[in-house]
Structure 1
Amino acid sequence: MTLPAPLTGVVPPVCTPLTPDREVDTASLVRLVDHLVAGGVDGLFVLGSTSEVAYLTDRQRALVLDTVVRHVGGQLPVLAGAIDMTTPRVLDHVRALGAGGADAVVVTAPFYTRTHPAEIARHFRLVARGSEVPVLAYDLPMAVHTKLSPELVLELAAEGVLAGLKDSSGDEGGFRRVLIGRRPGPGSFSVLTGSEVTVDAALAMGADGVVPGLGNVDPEGYVRLYRACRSGDWALARTEQERLCGLFGMVTTGDPARMGGSSSALGAFKAALRLRGIIDCSATAEPQIPLSTEDVERVGKYVAAAGLM
């Protein structure tokens, strides 16, 4: 389907369920997609950070996209991450994702290499030139060690290079500068927040939507939050946002002395999905360390407290 311009609403970054031997569990992935669609989401983002894209082989990436695109059957737009280190590698992914049915691709700045801002701009221009589908920028400095400046984002948006921005930078001032500086009107640039815990504030500033990892666990909650904001019911929005903030506490259940924050957060999302009966196995990709039995019990308490059990 054609990507809406601008893309709006709740677009969760879809977890990638894995089997105990770390292959893609397509049956669980289909159930997860059904769970999200039933929750009222407006699009799906596969092969992002919450999807564990950095851990997946090219074969597994292709399987995830094919499974989701075939199952959704055009009901919702499917965005796919073309995440890799340099322009030639990203272009390979972009071509494969476009051929595989993605409605748009989501691209970070180059990483590993030491890249000048002029080269980052050139990267996005070359990717857009080589893509048959719209390109959204993914501002993720924690992972790629480069912050996309508002000035660069707005410049590329004005050129038509970028169709949107998924902002996971945590830089609320920069995020607002993008919102203030973008051009309004048909075909306008979409600005989406990647924060689970400040969605009401982002929408109040003028954001078009949210890409919440926690939306895998509670899509209905984020849809309620989005709709409350859009209807101007800020009291309801605050109540829903604060409930989701409490649920988001599950990402801290893993012991930081033995595992990284990403392992803890992704493990918690998958544990919650398994506890809710949506996926069969909460395995995360190697070398991430799994949650302990006690950690999973704590996840269950967060899920129950949010009214999801």
Structure 2
Amino acid sequence: MTMPTPLTGVVPPVCTPLTPDHEVDTSSLTRLIDHLVEGGVDGLFVLGSSSEAAYLTDAQRRVVIETVAGHVGGQLPVLAGAIDMATPRVLDHVRSVTEAGADGVVVTAPFYTRTHPAEVARHFRLVAGRSPVPVFAYDLPVAVHSKLDAELVLELASEGVLAGLKDSSGEEGNFREVVLGARGRADVSGFSVLTGSETTVDAALAMGADGVVPGLGNVDPEGYARLYRYCREGDWVRARVEQERLCGLFGMVRVGDAGRMGGSSSALGAFKAALYLRGVISCPVTAEPQVPLSSGEVERVGKFLAGAGLL
């Protein structure tokens, strides 16, 4: 489908259900897509952090995008991560996901190597110059060790290199500068500014953001759709109540014992356990080498769901 400009609303980063032997569970994946569409989301983002893209083989990535794009059939825009260390590998992913039906691609700064802002800018220009679909920048300094400065993002937006930004940096001042530039600069139009934070969506939308890419949206898409609607309607009292309910639910990401697992294992394990407990996916396994949640930790996820009215 044609990508809306700007892209707005709730665009969850879709989890990748796996079988017990760690292959992509396409049946669970299509059920998850139905769950999200029925929950009122406005688009889908596959092959990002919540999709465990860093842990998937190229063949598994291809299965994910083919399954999702084929199942959605143009109902909603589908963004796909084309995330890798350097420009040639990113371009390989761009070709793969666009051939499989992606409507847009999401790209981080290069990583592993130490880069200069000029090289980061060149990376995005080269990718956009060869991509048949719009390119969205993914600001994720915790993972790629490079911050996308507002001035650079807006420069690339003014050139038509970038169609939007997914900001998962947590730096609200920089985020607001992008929002203000996207709204106020005559040379920037149709640029989408999306927050990757689950817990400050109301604040981001009050700043003027276009939408949200919440990992927790896999678990409760209806909640984020309501929150977005309340904010757009200017009903800030109901928006605050809904945001605070979602903040409570987000506590599930910390159920994992930090003494034996990393934050990714805990958060993604919790999202998948919640989807399993809600009957959406068949197996809550996460990709290796992540550490699985214990039965007691899964039980705690269930308590978060019950507390949020989802069980």
TM-score, with structure 2 as normaliser:
0.98
In structure 1, give the amino acid aligned to 2:82.
A
Aligned to 2:9: 9
Give the letter aligned to residue 101 of structure 1.
G
Query: Which residue matches 1:189?
Result: 191
Note if contact 2:182-2:189 (Cα within 8 Å) is conserved in structure 1: no
2:264 equivalent among 245, 259, 262:
262
Matched residue type, 2:289: P
Residue 135 of structure 2 corresponds to 135
Counterpart contact for 1:80–1:105, Cα < 8 Å: yes
Deviation at 1:243, TM superposition (A): 0.1
Runs of 4+ in structure 1 off by over 3 angstroms are 183-187
SS in 1 for 2:165: strand
Q: Give, in whole Å, the separation in 1 of the partners of 2:96 and 2:173.
A: 35
Please state how far the C-alpha of 1:95 moved relative to its aligned partner.
1.1
Q: Provide the residue aligned with 1:232 in structure 2.
A: 234
- Is 1:166 the counterpart of 2:162? The answer is no
**Contact map agreement 2:85 2:112 (CA 8 A) in 1:** yes
1:136 alignment partner, SS class: strand
Structure 1 CA distance for aligned equivalents of residues 28 and 261 of structure 2: 25
Question: Which residue of structure 2 lines up, in the alignment, with residue 48 of structure 1?
Answer: 48
Name the amino acid aligned to 2:230: A
How far, CA to CA, are the matches of 2:96 and 2:280 in structure 1? Answer: 29
The letter of the residue matching 1:265 is A
Deviation at residue 183 of structure 1 after TM alignment:
4.8
Rounded Cα–Cα distance in structure 1 between residues aligned with 2:303 and 2:30: 26
Partner of 2:251: 249
Q: What is the deviation of 1:187?
A: 4.9
5+ residue gaps, structure 1, are none
Amino acid of the residue matched to residue 232 of structure 1? G
Amino acid at match of 1:285: A
SS in 2 for 1:182: helix
Cα separation, 2, equivalents of 1:123 and 1:146: 13
The answer on whether the counterparts of 1:154 and 1:181 sit within 8 Å (CA) in structure 2 is yes
CA–CA separation in structure 1 for the residues paired with 2:28 and 2:209: 32
- Is the contact made by 1:158 and 1:183 (CA closer than 8 Å) also made in structure 2? no
Classify the secondary structure of the residue corresponding to 1:249: helix
Match of 1:180 in 2: 180
Contact 1:128 1:134 in 2 (8 A): yes
1:102 and 2:102 correspond: yes
Give the aligned residue type for 2:125.
Answer: R
- For residue 219 of structure 2, what is the aligned residue in structure 1? 217
Is the Cα–Cα contact under 8 Å of residues 141 and 169 in structure 2 kept in the other structure? yes
SS of residue paired to 1:192: strand
Unmatched 5+ stretches in structure 2:
none
Instruction: Provide the rounded CA distance (Å) in 1 between the counterparts of 2:131 and 2:267.
Output: 32
Count of equivalent residues: 309
Distance 2:76 2:183 in 1: 25
After superposition, the CA RMSD in angstroms is 0.9
Aligned-partner Cα distance in 1 for 2:298–2:242: 24
Give the C-alpha shift of residue 98 in structure 1. Answer: 1.1
Cα deviation, 1:24-81, whole Å, max 9, x if unaligned, reads 0000000000000000000000000000000000000000000001100000000000
Q: Distance in 2 between matches of 1:129 and 1:256?
A: 43
Tell me the amino acid that sits aligned with residue 87 of structure 1.
T
Where 1:246 maps in the other structure, the secondary structure is: helix
Name the amino acid aligned to 1:97. Answer: V
Query: What does 1:83-102 align with in structure 2 at a 5 Å threshold?
Result: 83-102=83-102
SS at match of 2:247: helix
Distance 1:287 1:109 in 2: 24
CA–CA distance in 1 between the matches of 2:235 and 2:200?
16
Match of 1:199?
A: 201
Q: Which amino acid aligns with 2:64?
A: V
Which position in structure 1 is the counterpart of 2:78? 78
Q: CA separation in 2, counterparts of 1:179 and 1:138?
A: 15
Aligned residue identity for 1:115? T
